């Protein structure tokens, strides 16, 4: 049984890695069972955001095999990326004739993979289905809605995602509550992350710093929004050092807008350390030892919940509300006063404590593979 797994950007790798591991484990067991189907995974890296050399550190940290196919789609507008990915993925599907296409997350490659497959009458499984921010200004929200609408198997990580799908008219028999596959990667990697030396290299002590990440266009492409956030972070950094692994586009805009131009000056009395993006294990050690995290990333909201690290999300909405209702997450938007006030609460020992959501137990990928094994064969539309 051939399964094509599509990954397009770094957040996808953390979701694909445990599925590949679960497929390998399943195949080893299936060899000892008469008549059991074995699975033949084909990993496709579209190269949507990074070329392979830049993303290679994630493959190494997550112990992923090299991709079977690298498409090299590259950057571009949303239409350009989605269109290029669809064209190349369709060629691949016609050539390889898989029984199932698995897409993960909500990037443009996710939608492209689903569209290319469904038009060839190949079943589609969407991992991390049903997440909704209810903000259609977010391109990711459009990708989520459309991918879910055309998928045959919808793997959800929380009960609210199930309800979102049902409210949109998705048949209940298509929905599978399997848990959070990103948590599988995190729990698999915690011990390895503890062995990294990123803290000593940066001169940091556990619990003695905060972490900032920023990459969403609403925050980094508009000068006013980015200015409000940087002013808040600067104020907080007077009280505690902030480590900022900055996305390349964010670094570019900080320079163009003239923000934080003196952050490394010896005359400044605040402590903000801007670095290039880090590998998965280094970054995991960084956040698991931090006092708090400021972010606009969806995945980091989940990771901080599992690690019980207070998280301040620099957005007005989240497609992961369970991290707020159950976890350690607080939405602060780009409101300077709110960011500073919530950060001060944490520094005063009043940070939000959370619990682990149901089925965030490191076994989501096993449940996904169990369902995939039962997928029916398809009739390829284009020969």
Work out the average pLDDT over 267-284.
82
In this prediction, residue 267 carries a pLDDT of 42
Residue 261 pLDDT more than 70? no
Q: Based on the domain organization, do 169 and 268 belong to the same domain?
A: no
pLDDT tens figures, 158-200: 999 999 999 999 999 999 999 999 999 999 999 999 999 999 9
Domain co-membership, 227 together with 165: no
Q: How, if at all, do strands 292-295 and 100-104 pair?
A: unpaired
Note down the domain range covering 168.
2-179+361-372
Residue 83 and residue 6 share a domain:
yes
- What is residue 266's predicted lDDT score, i.e. its pLDDT? 42
Q: Measure the CA–CA gap between 194 and 196, rounded to whole angstroms.
A: 6
Q: Structure tokens of 208?
A: 């003695």
The model's pLDDT over 123-147, given as tens digits with 9 standing for 90+, comes to 999 999 999 999 998 999 999 999 9
Check the CA dihedral 74-80-86-88 and report its sign: negative
Residues 162 and 139 in one domain: yes
Total domain count for the chain? 2
Domain contains 114: yes
The answer to whether residue 334 sits within a structural domain is: yes
Under the banding of pLDDT at 50, 70 and 90, the label for residue 118 is: very high
- Residue 222 falls within a domain, yes or no? yes
How many Å separate Cα 148 from the centre of its chain?
Answer: 17
Tell whether 159 and 202 lie within a shared domain: no
Mean pLDDT of the chain: 92
Over residues 289-318, mean pLDDT:
96
Cα distance between the two ends of the chain = 19
Six token digits for residue 33: 């069972």
Question: Is the domain of 242 the same as that of 300?
Answer: yes
* Cross-strand bridge partners of residue 124: 101
- pLDDT of the residue at 300: 96
Residues 99, 195, single domain; the answer is no
Q: Are residues 226 and 367 in the same domain?
A: no
How far apart, in Å, are the Cα atoms of 348 and each of 240, 277, 342, 343, 352?
A: 12, 29, 10, 9, 11
Per-residue pLDDT, averaged over 261-266, amounts to: 49
Give the helix ranges, DSSP H, for 238-297. 248-256, 280-288
Question: Residue 79 and residue 142: Cα distance in Å, rounded?
Answer: 12
pLDDT at 35: 78
pLDDT of residue 14: 93
pLDDT tens for 48-62 read: 765 555 678 888 899
**pLDDT reported for residue 383:** 59
Residue 81 lies in a domain: yes
Identify the band that residue 265 occupies on the pLDDT scale cut at 50, 70 and 90. very low
Answer whether residue 108 shows pLDDT above 70. Answer: yes
| Cα distances (angstroms) measured from residue 51 to each of 97, 126, 338 | 26, 24, 37
Q: Name the residue among 93, 153, 96 with its Cα closest to residue 121.
A: 93
Mean pLDDT of 314-325: 96
Note the pLDDT of residue 50.
55
Q: How confident is the model at residue 121 (pLDDT cuts 50, 70, 90)?
A: very high
Which CATH number belongs to the domain containing residue 117 in this structure?
3.40.50.2000
Q: Could you give the CA distance from residue 96 to residue 100 in angstroms, rounded to a whole number?
A: 11
Judge if 204 and 343 occupy the same domain: yes
7-49 tens-digit pLDDT: 988 889 999 999 999 999 999 999 888 778 899 999 999 987 6
Instruction: Give the start-end residues of each E strand in 161-202.
Output: 175-177
- The pLDDT confidence band at residue 3, using thresholds 50, 70 and 90, is very high
Judge if 208 and 251 occupy the same domain: yes
Per annotation, catalytic residue among 45, 157, 215, 238 = 215
Same domain, yes or no, for 104 and 75?
yes
Query: How confident is the model at residue 51, as a pLDDT?
Result: 52
**Position 313 pLDDT exceeds 50:** yes
pLDDT tens for 199-239 read 999 999 999 999 999 988 889 999 999 999 999 999 999 99
Q: How many CB atoms lie within 10 A of CB 83?
A: 15
Told to judge if 215 belongs to the known catalytic residues of this protein, a careful annotator would answer yes
Whether residue 355 is contained in a domain is answered as: no
Do 327 and 203 fall into the same domain? yes
């Amino acid at each position: 049984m051939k399964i094509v797994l599509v990954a397009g950007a770094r957040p996808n790798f953390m979701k694909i890695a445990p599925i590949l591991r679960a497929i390998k484990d399943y195949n080893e067991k299936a060899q000892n069972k008469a008549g059991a189907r074995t699975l033949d995974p084909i990993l496709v890296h579209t190269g949507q955001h990074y070329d392979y050399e830049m993303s290679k550190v994630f493959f190494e940290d997550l112990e992923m095999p090299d991709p079977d196919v690298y498409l090299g789609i590259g950057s571009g507008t949303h239409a350009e990326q989605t269109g290029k990915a669809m064209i190349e993925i369709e060629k691949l599907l016609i050539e390889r004739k898989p029984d199932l296409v698995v897409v993960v997350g909500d990037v443009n490659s996710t939608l492209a993979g689903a569209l290319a497959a469904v038009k060839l009458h190949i079943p589609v499984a969407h991992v991390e289905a049903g997440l909704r921010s209810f903000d259609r200004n977010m391109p990711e929200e459009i990708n989520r809605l459309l991918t879910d609408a055309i998928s045959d198997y919808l793997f959800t990580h929380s009960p609210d995602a199930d309800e979102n799908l049902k409210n949109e008219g998705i048949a209940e028999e298509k929905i599978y509550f399997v848990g959070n596959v990103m948590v599988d990667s995190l729990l698999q990697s915690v011990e390895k992350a503890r062995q990294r030396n990123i803290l000593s290299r940066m001169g940091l002590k556990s619990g003695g710093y905060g972490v900032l990440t920023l990459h969403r266009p609403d925050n980094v492409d508009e000068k006013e929004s980015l200015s409000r956030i940087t002013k808040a972070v600067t104020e907080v950094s007077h009280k505690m050092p902030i480590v900022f692994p900055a996305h390349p586009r964010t670094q570019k805009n900080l320079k163009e807008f003239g923000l934080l131009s003196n952050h490394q000056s010896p005359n400044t009395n605040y402590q903000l350390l801007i670095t290039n993006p880090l590998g998965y294990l280094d970054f995991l050690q960084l956040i698991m030892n931090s006092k708090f995290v400021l972010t606009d990333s969806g995945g980091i909201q989940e990771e901080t919940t599992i690690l019980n690290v207070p998280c301040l999300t620099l957005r007005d909405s989240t497609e992961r509300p369970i991290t707020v209702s159950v976890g350690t997450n607080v939405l602060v938007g780009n409101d300077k006063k709110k960011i500073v006030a919530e950060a001060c609460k944490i520094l005063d020992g009043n940070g939000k404590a959370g619990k682990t959501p149901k089925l965030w137990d490191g076994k989501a990928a096993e449940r996904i593979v169990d369902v995939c094994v039962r997928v029916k064969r398809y009739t390829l539309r284009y020969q």
